[in-house]
Each structure stands twice: as structure tokens, then as C-alpha cells.
Amino acid sequence: MKLTVWTYEGPPHVGAMRVATAMKGLHYVLHAPQGDTYADLLFTMIERRDHRPPVTYTTFEGRDLGEDTAGIFKVTCQEAYDRFQPQAMIVGASCTAELIQDDPGGLAETMQIPVPVIPLELPSYQRKENFGSDETFYQIVRALAAPMDRTPDVTVNILGPLALGFRHRDDIEEVKGLLFEMGIGINVVAPFDATPEDITRLGAAHANVVLYPEHAESAARHLERTFDQPYTKTVPIGVGATHDFVAEVAALCGVEPRKDLSRLRQPWWSKSVDSTYLTGKRVFLFGDATHVKAAARIARDEMGFEVVGLGCYNREFARPIRELAKEFNVPALITDDYLEVEKAIEDAAPEMILGTQMERHIGKRLGIPCAVISAPVHVQDFPARYSPQMGWEGANVIFDTWIHPLVMGLEEHLLAMFREDFEFHDEAGPSHHGGHAPKPVDAARTPDRVEEERVSEAQPETGSDVMVWLADAEMELKKIPFFVRGKARRNTEKFAADQGLHEISLDTLYEAKAHFAR
Amino acid sequence: MNTPNPITATTCRDTPVLKERGQREVFCGLTGIIWLHRKMQDAFFLVIGSRTCAHLLQSAAGVMIFAEPRFGTAILEETDLAGMADAHEELDREVARLLSRRPDIKQLFLVGSCPSEVIKLDLARAAERLTQVHAPHVRVLNYSGSGIETTFTQGEDACLASMVPVLPTTDQRELLLVGALPDVVEDQAVSLLTQMGIGPIRVLPAPRTAETPGVGPNTVFACLQPFLGDTAAALTRRGAHHIQAPFPFGEEGTTLWLRAIADEFGVDETTFERVTAAPRARARKAIANASEHLNGKTIFFMPDSQLEIPLARFLTRECGMEAIEIGQPFIHKGLVGPDLDLMPAGPTISEGQDVDKQLDRVRAARPDLTVCGLGLANPLEAEGLTTKWAIELVFTPVHFYEQAGDLAGLFSRPVRRRALLKLEAAE
């Protein structure tokens, strides 16, 4: 048993639902108790789909358990076929039905359903959502893809985009554009918007483009083995990766690596002097392996950040993430426990976090800016506007997204320069609120006095009650701009604690500053 | 000679119930934890279940999950399924770890799930054992919130019912209000009753374990929610007397609910009038404002929380709506009978669900407003139907006089929005 509050991934049958919901003309019959339909609202609310996921649940109840749950499954399966008339069906069990051992696949086989019925074995107590999607897509491809002649023109399949995928909708468009520029046609995009009939035609493509290894690697391997179709290993997130991707696809397909860079603004944005202040910003990366891998390269090579920690929650990709961490000379964090992630972030004391929805909240708690780079994400990261992560436009989107949470360079300098200005101290408030109008001076509450109160109030929050700030150190701390003061306080206290000190003097403050300086 | 004389239903109570079985589009009882843990401030809810259970709570709790909530899931792993003895040891270890990390916890609920029930993990025995281990500091109770046993709000019923046998015994004549309501609403109810001279008043669940009410043969209790059938039965078994009344939704519901209690405590008509006149007038006015857009509109309830019957009563009688179908996951006539009596026969009363067949009925009837869960709301909106998502009715303060306008507002907002939006190009 493992106590959990937050999970990065759902159970594997949710992965299967993501494949089914992405596709058209496919229906999923899930042997599951009442309540498991909660997963529908992930699709209708978070992704804002305008139709119900094509999933029928058997909804067995307690009183059915001693009787005929297998019979309920068969009736449900037949009714789902009759009502929805899909081109193919997938059948499987959720965690509870796995325990009652009804074998949906075997039961469906005994029925006279005139379309392919593909059984899924998803071990709910060992594996998770990403396994579920990868395995489901693999089983569908294995069952349906038939050998056939290659298309006369050069075409590829785009594999991996799913329902509830982080920016999958727009990544498809961007990658289609990259391929179009090279004169490569699209045979099938799957699972996103593909029908089972489309899946049967996968074999006609010359190669496969795998956008999300988490969801399509097993299928791509199968297609390589069975139909001799090579597949891409580079995920085109970031400028460098997109260049590599174009070269890789061109080589696989034997075409010219033509690119239209007219829309690509990220490199100039990053070179412009306004971005100088980004140099060496310490970032911590966490998310699914694919997005973390891509983000690490962008952070270092395209933004000039320093990566101070990285990790992923999907153990299936632990090995490549460990290698990546070695390359960046930081510890690899492979965990699905957000408390461990929070601990690692606290220890690394980054200036920015690139992570999932959960890291956004960790960032909020620790007062560290954060941008979202990976699922799981909430509704605001299924935007109405076009916002891919992949390709040239993706690079533009990523640049904007990552720097917005940071304090702009000029702003940072102005705040530091004028921090003791009589009109520009922390308590003055914004000028458009009339904060600068002369006020009757309340002798008991001068700004300094207010600040002192704030400092003493803030102290218990630091969690180091035994630490005493000497007067001169405290005065100096107050001169630090408010938005980094909390971090300076934490770092200094941590430094002092590591040194076995209980008092913080002016010297301690500056020794700590030197210690954490880069 | 007797000619066959068809018995025609006159109120919804006599209307034959359409009972359906099939796919249900509802939450399981685990979701009750999300509001119960806010109400019971020193309780922790530990679900013994699978990753699905954890994922459900996370999806249903939304942003609340980030606020260090007092609930969690002990996720069963492959090894727990292999041998039962092992599972108990594992549970003991996880509970000990949890309680050492959260010393403020006084009451721990082990919440059963579908997986724990299917493998017949004996949580009742575990709770007894753990109570002994952690006595006197922590009391450990158990109930089931599994989907195979409970639907949505029934989780609260199961939880409260599990507390009844261990409530201290008292011979005092006390009024016990049963059901977890937002504090602001509970305070209003207590204030109104106190002004009538009724008391002492206790609530179940109490905000803290130290304030746990007693129960005995002189206790009288009134339910604040229609889904508390098992809890009411358990209280009755301990000798308490149940005051039946329509539920306190809207001006009329609140008044009838208060009146039933006032009658039980012998409050005279003048006092009752004095206390209720002003808030009644306020409520009527607020409802009139908010229900302007609801008058004459039809409404269809998909089953969700068991609040459907009292809400339909409020909307038909006080907001001028016409109910087409009132679906409930479960109908406890002993509790909602008074509400059913107030509605003339007409709407279909359904219990249980076969969601595809029910959706066929929705599409055929094309109601002006459909009350349904979040898995159905957007798909129905896309079909051009206006929906009100039902879960909000459980989380938002909607009971009693001061919330009557807000309650009508929850239903009128989607109708008003539909009229407001001009998204197509002008012809």
C-alpha cells in the first residue's frame, strides 16, 4: 500500500479511454462499477469535448457480484454495438473488474459481433495511464494494420497524438506543416481523429513520425518489425530538435530537408539584448520524459538557462532521463510522489520551475515562478488559441510562455536601483492608485516601522525559529528587493544552519550570498 | 357490479416509479469526502482503494487537492492482492505513519472502495484494531464509499451512519440537525430555531470530535439533506425521534421544515410569525427576481444526488417551472415523501438509470433546462440543449431563506446566458 494524495497519472484504463476518445468509429466497452464514469468529465470539461467519450461502462453493483457480472458484460457489449455501430471495438476491465476475473476479451469472442473486437489486458495494480495508452494503441494497430503496397508518393504516418494530450491538437498542425515543406504527404494521423479503417492503411506509409514516445512507441516498433517502416526518434520540440527532426525525416524518406524559417522568431528574440538577463537563470524541470528531455535542451542551448535539476514521473522512461541528467551533471529524479518533487525543488532553490500542473502549485507555495511544459494539466492548458509546442511556431510559443513568469530584465534593474527611493519603496504601492500622494505622516507607522513589523511577522513562516537575525543583517535584508527577499532569507538561513550557526550577522548574509552566487 | 376503476395518481407520491438498470453516469460515494473533510475539521479520510480512486478524488476535488487536504488514498498494489494478512499489516503501517505526521487528527475514517470490497478486506475489524492501538487520542471508524454500494451523496450518509453507533448516550431532550452544511447556512438554521426558543441544538457531523452530540430516546432529529436514509434509520434505532418535513429549499420548503420542528417543540404561531416573517419576505423577493427567466420553462433532472425531488418541488412551486422527468439515483420515500406530496402528478419519477435510454428521452422532450453531471453537460449543450451541472448544487450554499434567491439563480443563469450570447454573425 502506498499513501497518495496527488497522482501524476491515472489508472491504465484512462489511457485506453484517451485512445478511444481520440479516435472515431471505435467504441470501448469497459467492465467497471458505478462511479468509474467520472473519467468522462476529464474529456468533456478539461478538454471541453462536445460529445461523450465513446465508452460504455457495465456499471455492475454490489448485488451483482455473487451473480452474473459476466452476463452483464455481454448484454452491455451487445447493446453498445447495436446502438453505436462502430467499425471496431475495444473491451477491457477497470481495476475492480480485474479482481472479479470475468475476462472481457474471452466473453466478447463468444458473441456474434460482426466487427473486430480487440481485448485489452491492462494491469491496473502495476501500471498507469501512459502504459494504458501505449498498450491500447499497440493492440489496435496489431489487430487492424494490414500489409499493403506503399503509396506512390512519399508519405508518413503521424503517431501518438491523443485525447487529453498536452497541446496535441496544435502539434499535429505544426508537424504537418514541417512535412508539407519537404513535400512529404500524410498517410494517416493516429490515434487522433483516425478511424479503425484508417488504422488498416498504416502499412502504406514509407515511415512513421512518432510525436509522443509515451503513447506510440510500442506501435511504432511493431510497424517497424512487421512492415519494415522506420520511425523517427527525435521529437521536434525546440529549434535545435526541430532542425534535427527535419534532417532525420528527410533521411528516412530520401527527400531534401527543406524548411521555411520565415515564421521562426525565437532565435532572434533570445539573442536580443533584452534577453541577456535570462543568462544562467537556474531552472528545475519535471514532467513526462519526452517534454522534460526537450525542455532541457531548449533551456540550456536556446535560452541560456542553467538546469539545476530534472526528472520525470513515468518510470518507463527512467533510463533516458538518467542519461540526460548525467549529461547535465544533475541528479535524476524519477518519482511519482509530488512530495519528493517538492523536496528536490526546495533543495535546488531554482529561480524558475518548468513542470506540470502540480509543479505550478509547488511554485506558488515556494514563491518561485513556473511555466507548464507537460501533462497533467488543467483546463487553462487546453487553450482556444493556436499554441503548439512543436516546430517553429512551437519554439515561439515556448519562448513567450517561459519568460512571462519571470520578472522582466529592465524591471529587475530598476527595482534594484531605486529600491531606497522615497517614492519607490515596497510600501508605496502603484502610482496609479495615488500611492504617491503626500500623506499625513503617522509617526508610529513610518515605512521603516511597517517594514520591521512585516519582517517580524514573516519570521515564523521561515520554519527556522531558532535562527536569530542580528539587527545589521536584518537592515540589509530589507534593502533587497521584495520579490527576491524571501529567497535570500531562506538561502541565508539554510546556509547558516548548514554552518551550525544560530545567529545571522551581516557577514553571514554576504557569505551566504557568495555561497549561492554562480 | 364493480367496473374497473383506474387509480389515477394525484400527487408524485402515488406516481408509479420508473425503475431502470443499465449504465449509470454518476459519481461513487467517495466524492462525499471532498465536502465532509472541510466540515469535520479534525478528521482524516483514508480511502483504501486503487489508483482509480485516487484519480477520481483528484479529478473531483479540483484545486482543493493542492491545499494539503485531510484525505488520501492508500493505493493497493500487486503485493496487497496476493495475501490478506499482508494487507492488514500494510494498512497498520500506513495509518501509523499518517497519524505521526498529522498529530492534529482525532478521527480517522477508513473508507472502503470497490477494490477493497471485492477482495473483502475487513475494514471494520481493522478500524476496531486501530482504535485500540491509537486510543485515546484517535478514534478510527469505517464506512463504504464504493461505487458498487453507494452513489455520490450516499457517501455522506454512509459516513454519518457509521458514527451513530458510537455517539455517546444522552437522556436530554435535544434537537439534532443531521447533514453537513456550509457553516454559514448551519448558523442561519440554528439562529432561526434559537429565536423560537428551541434548544439545545446539536449538529451531526460536529465540526470537531470534542463537540460530538449525544443521542438517546429524548433526542429529536431533523435531516437537512434528503440522502440521509441510513443515518436516519440508525438514529431511530438508538431511540431518537425523526421529524419529517419537506427539505429546506426555497421559502416554502424552509418554512415547512421550520414549522415541523416548531410544532414538535410547541412553539406558538405568534412566535413563529415573528421569527420568520422578515426572512420569508426577503426570500420571496429574491426568488421573484431570480426566477423571472424560469417561469413556464420545462426542466429534466438526470439522477445525481437525491436532491432532485426537493429541488423539483422548489422549482415547480416557487419558480413556475414544469418538470418533465425527475431522475434520482435512489428514492427514499420515508425522507422525500413530504416533498412528493406537494407536487401534483405529471412528471415521470425515475429511479436508477440507463443513461443512453434516458438521453433518448431528454432528446425527445427537448427540455428548456437539463440538470445533469459534468460528463453529460457539454455534450448536451453541443446538441443545443441548455444544462445546469448538478454537482454545484451540493457544494454551494443553497438551503434556507437567505440562499433561496441564489438557488433560483443557479438555475436561471444558464437560461439567461443562452439568451445573452450572440455568437453567430448577424443576418
pLDDT at B81: 84
User: Which of A153, A228, A274, A507 does the annotation list as catalytic?
Assistant: A274
Q: Residues A183-187: what's their mean pLDDT?
A: 98
CB distance B23–A361 less than 8 Å?
no
Total CB pairs under 8 A between chain A and B = 179
pLDDT at A446: 43
CB distance B73–A61 less than 8 Å?
no
Mean pLDDT of chain A: 89
CB distance A44–B73 less than 8 Å?
no
pLDDT at A506: 85
pLDDT at B155: 97
CB-based contact A243:A181 (threshold 8 Å): no
CB distance A58–B72 less than 8 Å?
no
Which residue from B51, B115, B146 is facing A128, i.e. has the nearest CB? B51
Measured between CA atoms, the residue of chain A closest to residue B60 is: A38
Q: Residues A58-65: what's their mean pLDDT?
A: 90
**CA–CA gap between residue A59 and residue B27 (Å, rounded):** 11
- Chain B contacts in chain A segment 337-366 (CB below 8 A): 358, 361
pLDDT at B135: 86
Judging contacts by C-beta atoms under 8 Å, the chain A residues touching residue B76 are 1, 125
For residue B13, give the C-alpha cell: 407520491
CA distance B358 to chain A (A): 14
- Residue A66, class by beta-carbon neighbours within 10 Å (0-12 exposed, 13-18 middle, 19+ buried)? exposed
CA atoms within 13 A on the CB side of A183: 9
Q: Residues A368-376: what's their mean pLDDT?
A: 94
CB-based contact B22:B361 (threshold 8 Å): no
CA distance B175 to chain A (A): 35
CA distance B8 to chain A (A): 34
CB distance B24–A37 less than 8 Å?
yes
Reported residue count of chain A is 518
What percent of the residues of chain A are helix, what percent strand, and what percent coil, each to the nearest 5? 50, 15, 35
Count Cβ neighbours within 10 Å for each residue of B339-357 and write b for 16 or more, e otherwise: bbebbeeebbbbbbbbbbe
Please state whether the predicted TM-score (pTM) of the whole model is above 0.80: yes
The phi, psi pair for A30, rounded to 5°, reads -110, 120
For residue A259, give the C-alpha cell: 524548411
Residue A119 pLDDT more than 60? Answer: yes
**CA–CA gap between residue A283 and residue A351 (Å, rounded):** 6
Residue A65 pLDDT more than 90? Answer: no
CA-CA-CA-CA torsion for B106, B112, B113, B116, nearest 10 degrees? 120
Banded pLDDT at A457 (limits 50, 70, 90): very low
pLDDT at A415: 64
Which residues are CB-neighbours of A377 under 8 A, at least 6 positions away? A46, A166, A356, A357
pLDDT in tens, B253-273: 999 999 999 999 999 999 999
Q: Residues A265-279: what's their mean pLDDT?
A: 93
CB distance A44–B377 less than 8 Å?
yes
Residue with the three cell numbers 505521526: B100
Judging contacts by C-beta atoms under 8 Å, the chain A residues touching residue B22 are 59, 76, 79
Which residue from B59, B73, B98 is facing A41, i.e. has the nearest CB? B59
For residue A43, give the C-alpha cell: 474529456
Measured between CA atoms, the residue of chain A closest to residue B153 is: A35
pLDDT in tens, B287-343: 999 899 999 999 999 999 999 999 999 999 999 999 999 999 999 999 999 999 999
Banded pLDDT at A226 (limits 50, 70, 90): very high
Banded pLDDT at A443 (limits 50, 70, 90): very low
Residue A318 pLDDT more than 90? Answer: yes
**CA–CA gap between residue A90 and residue A116 (Å, rounded):** 8
- Chain B contacts in chain A segment 45-84 (CB below 8 A): 45, 48-52, 56-62, 64-65, 76, 79, 83
pLDDT in tens, A12-51: 999 999 999 999 999 999 999 999 999 999 999 999 999 9
Measured between CA atoms, the residue of chain A closest to residue B144 is: A62
CA distance A367 to chain B (A): 15
How is residue A11 annotated by DSSP?
-
CB distance B27–A38 less than 8 Å?
yes
CB distance A50–B382 less than 8 Å?
yes
CB distance A52–B376 less than 8 Å?
yes
**CA–CA gap between residue A255 and residue A257 (Å, rounded):** 6
Judging contacts by C-beta atoms under 8 Å, the chain B residues touching residue A4 are 51, 54, 72-75
Residue A454 pLDDT more than 50? Answer: no
Using DSSP's 3-state secondary structure scheme, residue A497 falls into helix
Helix H, strand E, coil C: the string for A127-188 is CCHHHHHHHHHHHHHHHHCCCCCCCCCCEEEEECCCCCCCCHHHHHHHHHHHHHHCCCEEEE
Measured between CA atoms, the residue of chain B closest to residue A62 is: B148
CB distance B114–A14 less than 8 Å?
no
pLDDT at A287: 97
Mark whether A274 is an active-site residue: yes
pLDDT at A371: 95
Q: Over its length of 427 residues, how does chain B's per-residue pLDDT go in tens digits?
A: 566 666 677 899 999 999 999 999 999 999 999 999 999 999 999 999 999 999 999 888 876 666 778 999 999 988 888 776 688 888 999 999 999 988 999 999 999 999 999 999 999 999 999 999 998 899 999 999 999 999 999 999 999 999 999 999 999 999 999 999 999 999 999 999 999 999 899 999 999 999 999 999 999 999 999 999 999 999 999 999 999 999 999 999 999 999 999 999 999 999 999 999 999 999 999 999 989 999 999 999 999 999 999 999 999 999 999 999 999 999 999 999 999 999 999 999 999 999 999 999 999 999 999 999 999 999 999 999 999 999 889 989 999 999 999 999 999 999 999 999 988 776 5
DSSP-assigned letters across all residues of B314-376 = HHHHHS--EEEEEEES---HHHHHHHHHTSBS-SEEEEE--HHHHHHHHHHH--SEEEE-HHH
Residue A372 pLDDT more than 70? Answer: yes
Which residue would you say has higher pLDDT here, A467 or A516?
Answer: A467
Judging contacts by C-beta atoms under 8 Å, the chain A residues touching residue B87 are 1
Residue A82 pLDDT more than 50? Answer: yes
pLDDT at A366: 87
CB distance A33–B114 less than 8 Å?
yes
CB distance A49–B376 less than 8 Å?
no
Which residues are CB-neighbours of B372 under 8 A, at least 6 positions away? B25, B302, B304, B380, B387, B388, B389, B390
CA distance B85 to chain A (A): 13
Task: Confirm or reject contact between A3 and chain B (CB < 8 A).
Answer: yes
The phi, psi pair for A26, rounded to 5°, reads -120, 140
Helix axes B51-61, A12-22, angle to 10 degrees: 60
Angle at B44 between CA B41 and CA B47, to 5 degrees: 145
CB distance B50–A128 less than 8 Å?
no
Q: Residues A497-507: what's their mean pLDDT?
A: 87
CA distance A209 to chain B (A): 31
Task: Confirm or reject contact between A225 and chain B (CB < 8 A).
Answer: no
Residue with the three cell numbers 357490479: B1
pLDDT at A456: 43
Q: Which of B19, B20, B21, B23 to mutate to test the interface with A (most CBs of A within 10 A)?
A: B23
Using DSSP's 3-state secondary structure scheme, residue B211 falls into helix
Judging contacts by C-beta atoms under 8 Å, the chain A residues touching residue B85 are none
Q: Residues A505-511: what's their mean pLDDT?
A: 86
pLDDT at B358: 97
Which residues are CB-neighbours of A94 under 8 A, at least 6 positions away? A11, A13, A30, A31, A32, A33, A36, A124, B52
Q: Residues A209-226: what's their mean pLDDT?
A: 98
In angstroms, the Cα distances linking B30 to A393, B51, B208 are 43, 13, 21
CB-based contact A258:A281 (threshold 8 Å): no
Residue A495 pLDDT more than 50? Answer: yes
pLDDT at A423: 59
Residue A75, Cβ neighbours under 10 Å: how many?
Answer: 13
CA-CA-CA-CA torsion for A168, A172, A173, A176, nearest 10 degrees? 170
Amino acid at B166: V
